[in-house]
Chain A
């Protein structure tokens, strides 16, 4: 059983660089073909300082840690009993190729539903860039079926 004692728990921040090649691969994977998302010159012509990271990309860099599911195991969540229930982003500043982002995650909320058979866990990750500016908040909600 996942306990509400988890709320407020924080995880060591980590940093990752937004690479242009990775953004091009990501664009290909999601079918994004507009020149400003795959071509540096087109991006600059469109007013961006570099290739822009598409809206959901910051959640991918949050998977860059060596073991992205460690926080769930630490919370004693059986990953096989877990589903991604919801995802949210708040945006404060754009992200481009070359940016160095730092991710700081904490458990924001733990809620039992359906008589305790389902537990919803919300992890909020604050994302800042190399200038110390807040660029995004990523909220990931998972639901765990209790055994």
Chain B
């Protein structure tokens, strides 16, 4: 397994190494549509998006959540992940440069496991938050 991060060595307030993404492209969204199985045209067909009254296509919410998942599993091995929740608060647009951040906000012992809660969010260059949520991770 990857890094063996230990519960006792993690402090509330500790930040995770952020994940900085390249600007979102239409190719990114087309690839994610095919790979994820979410073929909703609102994410890949600008004609459909305009007919729905939007200026352009926008990114799948779950693509951003998958980026947050990359950040989390780079910090602790994936089998340690117990729970992962987000709210979608704003749409992610083509051309935006998204950054994922995480911070340890809580440490608890529950059901014989030592768990940390990590608050996570994605935001654009202007700091506009797109997704916000948390993850529970078990540490040895």
Q: Could you list which residues of chain B lie within 8 angstroms of chain A, going by C-beta atoms?
A: 1-2, 21-22, 28, 31-32, 34-38, 40, 52, 61-63, 65-67, 69-70, 72-74, 78-79, 81-88, 133
Q: Closest approach, in angstroms, between the C-beta of B22 and any C-beta of chain A?
A: 8
Q: Which of A29-46 contact B (CB under 8 A)?
A: 29-32, 34, 36, 46
Q: Closest approach, in angstroms, between the C-beta of B57 and any C-beta of chain A?
A: 15
Known interface pairs A46-B2, A91-B82. Does A56 touch B69 (Cβ–Cβ under 8 Å)? Answer: yes
A74-95: CB near B (< 8 Å → 1, else 0) gives: 0000001001111111110010
Query: A52 near B: Cβ within 8 Å?
Result: yes
Known interface pairs A54-B70, A56-B69. Does A80 touch B52 (Cβ–Cβ under 8 Å)? Answer: yes
Contacts of B78 in A (CB 8 A): 52, 54-55, 94
Q: Are A29 and B35 in contact (CB under 8 A)?
A: yes
Contact with B66, one of A36, A54, A88 (Cβ below 8 angstroms) = A54
Q: Are B36 and A55 in contact (CB under 8 A)?
A: no
Q: Closest approach, in angstroms, between the C-beta of A11 and any C-beta of chain B?
A: 17
List the one stretch of A59-67, A97-105, A111-119, A125-133 in contact with chain B: A59-67
Known interface pairs A87-B62, A89-B85, A90-B82. Does A54 touch B69 (Cβ–Cβ under 8 Å)? Answer: yes
A19-34: CB near B (< 8 Å → 1, else 0) gives: 0001001101111101
Q: Are B35 and A89 in contact (CB under 8 A)?
A: no
A69 to B41, CA, bound (A): 13
Q: Closest approach, in angstroms, between the C-beta of B73 and any C-beta of chain A?
A: 7
Contacts of A31 in B (CB 8 A): 21-22, 67, 70
Contact with B32, one of A29, A36, A69 (Cβ below 8 angstroms) = A29
Q: Are A60 and B82 in contact (CB under 8 A)?
A: no
Q: Are A84 and B61 in contact (CB under 8 A)?
A: yes
| CB closest residue in chain A, given B21 | A31
A14 to B31, CA, bound (A): 25
Among B22, B32, B67, B72: residue with most chain A CB under 10 A: B32
14 contacts between A and B (CB under 8 A): A26-B36, A28-B35, A29-B32, A29-B35, A29-B63, A30-B35, A34-B74, A46-B2, A54-B73, A55-B73, A56-B84, A60-B36, A85-B87, A91-B83
